[in-house]
């Protein structure tokens, strides 16, 4: 029973780590997408 418990704890730590890292990664990706879309929009408007 010690192995499943240890595995469960490991999964909980992994999930917490992912939740802590995910928002910053999503924010960076979102900003990059927004800037790229704005750049494309300005280039199309200039053309």
Residues 15-36 have pLDDT tens digits of 565 566 666 777 888 889 999 9
Structure tokens at 23: 């928002």
pLDDT at 3 over 60: no
CA–centroid distance for 31 within its chain: 12
Distance CA 17, CA 38 (A): 32
Higher pLDDT, 39 or 8: 39
Q: What local confidence, expressed as pLDDT, does residue 25 receive?
A: 73
Domain boundaries, the chain: 1-47
Q: What local confidence, expressed as pLDDT, does residue 29 receive?
A: 85
Q: What local confidence, expressed as pLDDT, does residue 40 receive?
A: 94
Q: What local confidence, expressed as pLDDT, does residue 47 receive?
A: 80
Distance CA 45, CA 34 (A): 16
């Amino acid at each position: 029973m010690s192995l499943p418990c240890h595995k469960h704890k490991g999964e909980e730590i992994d999930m917490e780590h992912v939740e802590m890292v995910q928002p910053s990664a999503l924010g960076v990706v979102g900003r990059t997408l927004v800037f790229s879309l704005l750049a494309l929009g300005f280039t199309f408007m200039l053309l």
